[in-house]
Amino acid sequence: MTEQLLTIQWKNDKLVLLDQTLLPNEIVYNEYESLESVWEAIRVMQVRGAPAIGVAAAYGVYLGIKDAPETSFDAFWEVMQKGTDYLATSRPTAVNLFWAIDRMKSVAIDHKTLPISHLKERLIEEAIEIHHEDEEINKQIGENLLGLLKDGMGVLTHCNAGALATTKYGTATSPMYLAKERGWNLKVYADETRPRLQGSTLTAFELYQAGIDVTVITDSMAAVVMSQGKIDAIIVGADRVAANGDVANKIGTLGVSILAKNYNIPFYVAVPTPTIDLETKTGKDIPIEEREKEEVIKGFGAYTAPADVAVYNPAFDVTPAENVTAIVTEKGIVRAPFAENLRALFA
């Protein structure tokens, strides 16, 4: 078992990210000193996973304003507005990106009477706070989820809602780390997660490194392991939960939820409250990112289909609330009726 790798660090006024596009083969940390470079890191998925995107974006916002004019708030705000509008175009689905940007903007507005140099300090403090909060939130999600599991269970997860997608612990993986600390043996099945393979390159990588019992399966094997009675619970993360409890998560999650229903297996969604978007009414209102066709037909380096063939590559899908057993947050476990109970969580 080796030391946990840090997804995001803030060092000497620079953002340091573990390049997730190179895992599990190479461990490379890159430094980012501008908002534009953070935009690119999010876009190409050097940093990915909703909470990690939110934390990286908060630092990106600061990098975008650190050299902004200090003559007046208006001159400063013009730079902040322009930068944040641009950062918001990096990826569309994970609401944590917009949540972090809005939180940073609110801090600027609330402190607009400060000298701009002090306002800048306040903003980096806020980004660091967002970063540290994420770790605490994830630990609490894990504690709450652990109450739904038992030693010896088989758990299936899809994509990477792990430590690599967050500051620490992950969301869906948090109970797996806590279970390990308590001497439990959970048997984890990680869907490979085509086309970007976050399940095998990231989830299997980080759980294996931590000494957790993890088995990789291709996405098409999920039904068989469920039919064989190997899975007692499914735990996934989310990029956005709508006000009615519909859940956007990595493409393939919908299929897993349908299988779970068929085999009577509880389907849990692990989310920090910043991933819940009460402004988005239902799953139909969640923007779903479509990515380059090469991810599907050239994902292994060489073409696996004719180069010019038509490809459909939505990066996320929406699991209807009716397929969800519970949404597990740091503030508690939410069950149906989701619309009412999610609202109560923020009351």
- List own/partner pairs for 126-133 with CB under 8 A and 24 or more apart: 126/58, 127/10, 127/55, 127/58, 127/59, 127/61, 127/62, 128/10, 130/54, 130/55, 130/58, 130/100, 130/103, 131/8, 131/10, 131/55, 131/58, 131/59, 131/167, 132/167
Work out whether 256 is an interface residue with ligand MRU (CB under 6 A).
no
329 near ligand MRU, judged by CB under 6 A? no
The kind and range of the H/E element at 189 are strand 187-191
Q: Which amino acid is at 108?
A: A
- DSSP 8-state class, residue 290: B
Report the residue from 7, 35, 48, 178 that binds ligand MRU according to the rule CB under 6 A. Answer: 48
Residues 224-243 that bind ligand MRU (CB under 6 A): 237-239
94 contributes a contact to ligand MRU by CB under 6 A: yes
- Residue 176 in contact with ligand MRU, rule: CB under 6 A: no
| β-strand pairing of 214-217 with 154-157 | unpaired
Asked if residue 68 binds ligand MRU (CB under 6 A), the reply is no
Residues 196-225 that bind ligand MRU (CB under 6 A): 198
Q: Mark whether 134 is an active-site residue.
A: no
**What are the DSSP calls for 48-91, one per residue?**
-SHHHHHHHHHHHHHHHHTTS--S-HHHHHHHHHHHHHHHTTS-
Of the two residues 84 and 198, which places its CB atom closer to ligand MRU in the complex?
Answer: 198
Using CB under 6 A, which residues numbered 18 to 47 contact ligand MRU?
Answer: none
Which of 243, 250, 259, 283 contacts ligand MRU by CB under 6 A? 250
Q: Which is nearer to ligand MRU, 206 or 239 (CB)?
A: 239
Binding residue for ligand MRU, selected from 35, 38, 51, 265, defined by CB under 6 A: 51
List binding-site positions for substrate.
48-50, 91, 198, 249-250
Binding of residue 161 to ligand MRU (CB under 6 A): yes
Say if residues 28 and 237 touch (Cβ distance below 8 Å): no
Q: Is there binding between residue 159 and ligand MRU (CB under 6 A)?
A: yes
Select 51 or 83, whichever has its Cβ closest to ligand MRU.
51
Residues in contact with ligand MRU by the rule CB under 6 A: 48-51, 94, 159, 161, 165-166, 170-171, 198, 237-239, 249-250, 315
Please identify every residue annotated as catalytic: 239
